[in-house]
Amino acid sequence: MATKRGLNSPYLMLSVTMVLWGSAFSSSKSVVEHVPHPVAALLRFGGAALALLVALALFGRGRGGGGGSGSGGAGAGARAALAGVLGVFAYNGLFFWGLSLAPSLDAGILIPVMSPVLTSAFLLVTGRERASRARLAGLGLGLTGAVVFFLGAGGSTHGSPARLAGDALFLLAAVCWAAYTLAGPRVLAGTDPLRATTYATCAGAVLLGLVAAPDLPAVRWGELPTSVWANAAYLAVGAAALANLLYYRGVHAVGPASASLMMFTVPVVNTVCGTLLLGETFGAVQGVGALVLLSGAALAATQGRLPRRAAPGPGAPGSSATTMRLPSRGAE
């Protein structure tokens, strides 16, 4: 019984999710080194779409099927597919393009940390959230850290124009994810997480396939190392499909506020993987910028207080406000 409870622990689910997401950056970089970046994006999310379709066929019945509130009908499916254009297609197109120019270390800092910073900044500017001193200080620190990080990407012995361009693409990817997060509660209202994720991923994968089509004939598929296929399978099944489902279950149990704090372990996992597996490094300036950025984002997210456990509402885990508030990457 203890083992069963441990496996069902929401914090264990979230911890596994963060490891999967954090390791996905270096794993994606390994694929990009062997195939064009549009093809790498297609391998990851085409595979994820297939895995989610299988999961939906096996576990999706009875979860809002038959026109219930969980499914939302054809309109909900269309909204979820539209969200996939932004959160899967645009985000991952920019992400994999950036990986072809810059190290995965940079992606693992800029995307998971800048996304909540940008989201909070927009909510404050539009008056949808109140501006506290702690939050404003956190946003200021976060933006300062991002500027320092970019200065380090363009200069020093570890910097280069290509790395700076890649980091700019990572920042645009973070903008896409912040917009996806903000639009999510309305776009995916009334759709259960598994179904919404499947529709969004399939729509994004189709568009990624169209972009990758010109590069597909040039790939020497038979000469690709086994490691490329292993990484692609890991990204599709582990870092995309499985991680998203574990994340939704964890958020349902502990609430989005507590889950958001665990997002700050993603850059740590990514840094370990990028350093040990790929031999990537930060310059001193980028290291300082990363620490300032992480500190500011954490302060903005918590406002200096640890979040209380939120009791899930009757609609959870299908509540879009719960499931779409934070990245499911993959963001990564």
pLDDT at residue number 62: 53
Do residues 39 and 219 touch, judged by C-beta distance below 8 A?
Answer: yes
Signed CA dihedral, 326, 202, 22, 175: sign only: negative
Total-model pTM? 0.78
Q: Which two tokens stand for residue 309?
A: 């456990």
Signed CA dihedral, 320, 266, 243, 170: sign only: positive
Residue by residue, DSSP assigns 40-62 as HHHHHHHHHHHHHHHHHHHH-TT
Per-residue pLDDT of the chain (332 residues; tens, 9 = 90+): 444 455 568 778 888 888 998 899 999 999 999 999 999 999 999 999 999 998 888 876 655 444 444 445 667 778 888 888 988 899 999 999 999 999 888 888 888 888 777 877 787 777 777 767 777 787 788 778 778 877 776 655 556 788 889 989 999 998 988 888 777 666 656 677 788 888 888 999 999 999 999 999 999 999 999 999 999 999 999 988 888 778 767 766 776 556 666 777 888 888 888 888 888 877 778 788 888 888 877 777 666 665 554 444 333 333 333 333 334 444 45
Do residues 145 and 291 touch, judged by C-beta distance below 8 A?
Answer: yes
pLDDT at residue number 12: 85
Do residues 252 and 317 touch, judged by C-beta distance below 8 A?
Answer: yes
| AA identity, residue 118 | L
pLDDT at residue number 159: 60
**Of 173, 192, 98, which Cα lies nearest the Cα of 331?**
173
pLDDT at residue number 61: 62
